[in-house]
């Protein structure tokens, strides 16, 4: 997978940057620098194409996931991150997924399949339109969720579903609401406060 790795401080935690539809591995670098300039950066480009746009998994239209592909791509991405952790010398529990939209959604997939892997995540504009029966243990997980009022892609009921998905599994959840399907500087600053508290 196409990626960038930027070491800012030896031994510091690592942001796993996961872009939105049509993005690249560099999109969230300014957000990462705002969140904590000392953290190292692993930015990964989604390797699925939708009308020439990079994504992390296939779908059959807005909010209609190809669940089989999501499962396959989630495992593929997790294995890739595991390899890079070895290559660049960091631990998964020191890695913080930072996702926007499509990137947040595959981060949720990885967290559900590997609940022991990540201890923190900052997810902007997430959507995970499924009832998950398995009750993973997220009691050691802290998650920041940025959700949209009047989001044209994610109805508020679906945002609530994501909040519940984490809370029902015991995660420490911090939420912030924005207008629409965006990642604003204001909400990035709230994520910064959450991360560095």
104 a catalytic residue: no
Instruction: Quote the number of domains for the chain.
Output: 1
Q: How does the average pLDDT of the chain come out, rounded?
A: 97
Decide: 126 and 105 in contact? Cβ < 8 Å: yes
Q: Which of 19, 104, 146, 151 is catalytic?
A: 151
Q: What percent of the chain has pLDDT over 70?
A: 100
Q: Who contacts 99 (Cβ-Cβ below 8 Å, separation ≥6)? A: 17, 18, 19, 105, 106, 107, 121, 122, 123, 124, 126
Which CATH number belongs to the domain containing residue 165 in this structure?
A: 3.40.50.1820
Q: Who contacts 20 (Cβ-Cβ below 8 Å, separation ≥6)? A: 27, 100, 101, 102, 103, 125
Name the pTM for this structure: 0.97
What is the predicted pLDDT for the residue at 80?
A: 98
Per-residue confidence in pLDDT tens, the chain, 197 aa: 999 999 999 999 999 999 999 999 999 999 999 999 999 999 999 999 999 999 999 999 889 999 999 999 999 999 999 999 999 999 999 999 999 999 999 999 999 999 999 999 999 999 999 999 999 999 999 999 999 999 999 999 999 999 999 999 999 999 999 999 999 999 999 999 999 99
Q: What is the pLDDT of residues 107-139, one digit of tens each?
A: 999 999 999 999 999 999 999 999 999 999 999
139 a catalytic residue: no
What residues form DSSP beta bridges with 146?
124, 176
Task: Give residue 84's domain range.
Answer: 3-196
Tell me the DSSP string of the chain.
--EEEE-SSTT--EEEEE--TT--TTTTHHHHHHH-TTSEEEEE---EEETTEEESS-BSSTT-B-HHHHHHHHHHHHHHHHHHHHHHT--GGGEEEEEETHHHHHHHHHHHH-TTT-SEEEEES----S---S----TT-EEEEEEEET-SSS-HHHHHHHHHHHHTTT-EEEEEEEESS---HHHHHHHHHHHH-
Q: Which of 19, 27, 101, 159 is catalytic?
A: 101
101 a catalytic residue: yes
């Amino acid at each position: 997978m196409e990626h960038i790795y930027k070491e800012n401080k030896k031994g510091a935690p690592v942001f796993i940057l996961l872009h939105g539809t049509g993005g690249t591995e560099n999109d969230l670098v300014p957000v990462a620098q705002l969140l904590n300039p000392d953290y190292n950066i692993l930015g990964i480009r989604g390797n699925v194409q939708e009308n020439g746009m990079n994504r992390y998994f296939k779908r059959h239209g807005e909010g209609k996931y190809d669940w089989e592909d999501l499962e396959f791509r989630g495992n593929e991405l997790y294995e890739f991150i595991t390899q890079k952790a070895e290559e660049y010398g960091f631990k998964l529990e020191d890695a913080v997924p930072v996702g926007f939209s499509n990137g947040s959604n595959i981060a949720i997939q990885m967290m559900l399949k590997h609940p022991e892997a990540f201890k923190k995540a900052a997810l902007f504009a997430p959507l995970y339109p499924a009832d998950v029966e398995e009750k993973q243990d997220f009691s050691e997980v802290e998650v920041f969720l940025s959700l949209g009022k009047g989001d044209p892609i994610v109805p508020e009921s679906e945002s609530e579903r994501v909040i519940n998905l984490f809370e029902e599994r015991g995660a420490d959840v911090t939420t912030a609401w924005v207008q629409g399907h965006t990642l604003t500087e204001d909400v990035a600053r709230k994520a910064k406060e959450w991360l560095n508290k």
